Amino acid sequence: MSGALVARGCFVAGTDTEVGKTAVSTALLHLLGADGSRTAGCKPVAAGTVMRDGLCFNEDVRALRDASSLDLRDAEVGPCQLTAACAPHIAAALEGRSIDREALRRAVGALARRAEWLVVEGIGGFRVLLGRGWDTADLACDLGLPVILVVGLRLGCLNHAILTADAIAGRGLRLTGWVANAVDKAMPQRDANVAALVERLAAPCLGVVPQLAPPTPSAVAAHLDAAAVRACLNPLPSPGVV
Ligand SMILES: Nc1ncnc2c1ncn2[C@@H]1O[C@H](COP(=O)(O)OP(=O)(O)O)[C@@H](O)[C@H]1O
Ligand SMILES: [Mg+2]
């Protein structure tokens, strides 16, 4: 679908599930919307709904919706919400359906045409199965957005980050930046791990987010480099270049 998207934006991938993709995606929306720009968050596939105050919703979808400056409906932010909190293709099968790849492209494209900035949160790690013969890497390719990688700082993250960066490049996508996120309070040698990634990953580090209580969009955004974020998401040449 490259070329069909109008908004500038990114696909937020993670080294794993529970590494801070939602925390960083909502922070990006907060940061990009600070000047009044039209922003939209999207979670193309979301697995796991909760029931609160008699309402059934997906927490990631709701967080992205709340952080968007456009007034969006849950169904626009999360076009495929599955009930079970498990691997998406299994959650879909439990409901007797499959995930419709073309419908996801259309839904994300519709948001992209309304927003100036689009932040698409991936699902789990970079290669989560979505159906027979396709996974989240294919979804990222369909959207053609630059990728921001959230590295959950925990033991094993160097391996996960480097494997994911290789997988992103292997699919012809651009890793445009990465964020280190301190998800594990007790991680030893956190700074040395970040330094190793700064040396190893070709893309710029957009921020190192410490343990925050709570990790609200504004609190996380305060640890991101706003200028670097805007620069790495803007695929257009700067004025005067053309
Ligand atoms: N920097 C942080 N400090 C403290 N808690 C964090 C931080 N980043 C994320 N968390 C918490 O870790 C959990 C996973 O984060 P989340 O953004 O939902 O990850 P993902 O979207 O990758 O599954 C959530 O409970 C979130 O509140
Ligand atoms: Mg999430």
Ligand 1: centre distance to CA 113 (Å): 29
Catalytic residue status for 21: no
| Atom number of ligand 1 nearest to Cα 150 | 22
pLDDT band at 7 (very low <50, low <70, confident <90, very high): confident
Q: Helices 157-170 and 190-200: crossing angle, nearest 10°?
A: 20
Tokens read off for 96: 């007797």
Beta-strand pair 134-135/147-152: unpaired
For ligand 1, atom 17, which residue shows the shortest CA distance?
A: 20
Tens-digit pLDDT profile for residues 18-73: 999 999 999 999 999 999 999 999 999 999 999 999 999 999 999 999 999 999 99
pLDDT band at 242 (very low <50, low <70, confident <90, very high): very low
Tens-digit pLDDT profile for residues 126-183: 999 999 999 999 999 999 999 999 999 999 999 999 999 999 999 999 999 999 999 9
For ligand 1, atom 20, which residue shows the shortest CA distance?
A: 18
CATH number belonging to the domain at 8-42+101-233, selected among 3.30.70.260, 3.40.50.300, 1.20.1070.10, 3.20.20.140: 3.40.50.300
Domain locations along the chain:
8-42+101-233
Q: Relative to the alpha carbon of 125, which ligand is closest?
A: 1
Tens-digit pLDDT profile for residues 87-121: 999 999 999 999 999 999 999 999 999 999 999 99
pLDDT band at 237 (very low <50, low <70, confident <90, very high): very low
Rounded to whole angstroms, the Cα distance separating 61 from 69 reads: 14
Pocket probe mutation, ligand 1, options 19, 148, 160, 178, max atoms within 8 Å of Cβ: 19
